Chain A
């Protein structure tokens, strides 16, 4: 205990949680500001996953019991795997259903090769 009334673990955990919340906020600002679906998926997935991972790490560090650490690690691994898979499925489904890219996009190789109207049985 020091003069703030918190242990070192709690201070480190609180710092990690603050950084995580800032990342979450920037990800959600990206969700509002960016121009099309694919950019939004990019910004929100990356920033929010990083932010939530940091919050979970902060909770793990500030509790510092073996039970919390094991559960936190399982939770982090789970979020890393599922969110990237969900982003992949959503972007693929969006492209399949004919959502076009932003006007100022440079190139769209996927539409050149497959087209928006390609409705064959896909790997979803």
Chain B
């Protein structure tokens, strides 16, 4: 009974987080704002996967969370390097 209301509420809450991140990606005034939003979107998705793990009871989904965090981290570092490099080339 309680879970029937709570679980959709939790998922809508995280979807709202994704919506805020997408808003910042769409109209961030600078490139750095967009990168921050992309980075945070990756972490929010890890939270999503963790909620899925708790709901379904399938532990292997935590592997997905781990790999997602790793790939998001590498992507953020590459974007940060690109941001510095763009200035050097101008």
Given the complex of chains A and B, what is the CA–CA distance between A80 and B47 in angstroms?
A: 13
Q: Which residues of B contact A99 (CB under 8 A)?
A: 30, 32
> 1/0 per residue A23-55: CB within 8 Å of B?
011011101100001001100110011011001
Q: Which residues of B contact A90 (CB under 8 A)?
A: 32, 35-36, 39, 76, 79-80, 83
B interface, by DSSP: helix, strand, loop or mixed? helix
Given contacts A21-B13, A24-B47, A28-B21, contact A93 B66 (CB under 8 A): no
Residues 52-82 of B contacting A (Cβ, < 8 Å): 53-54, 57, 59, 62-63, 65-66, 69-70, 72-73, 76-77, 79-81
Interface contact B6-A82, CB-CB below 8 Å: no
Q: A67 interface residue, CB < 8 Å from B?
A: yes
Interface contact B16-A25, CB-CB below 8 Å: yes
Interface residue tally for chain A (C-beta within 8 Å):
58
Interface contact A96-B36, CB-CB below 8 Å: no
Interface contact A92-B53, CB-CB below 8 Å: no
Interface contact B33-A37, CB-CB below 8 Å: yes
Given the complex of chains A and B, what is the CA–CA distance between A51 and B16 in angstroms?
A: 14
Interface contact B87-A89, CB-CB below 8 Å: no
Contacting A93 at CB < 8 Å: which of B21, B53, B81?
B81
Kindly report which residue of chain B lies nearest to residue A13, judged by CB atoms: B54
Given contacts A75-B62, A97-B83, A99-B32, contact A18 B47 (CB under 8 A): no
Kindly report which residue of chain B lies nearest to residue A100, judged by CB atoms: B30
Q: Which residues of B contact A18 (CB under 8 A)?
A: 6, 10
Given the complex of chains A and B, what is the CA–CA distance between A28 and B41 in angstroms?
A: 9
Chain B proximity of A110: nearest CB distance (Å): 15
A-B contacts, 9 listed (Cβ < 8 Å) = A28-B17, A40-B33, A59-B51, A63-B54, A78-B69, A78-B70, A83-B39, A90-B35, A96-B83
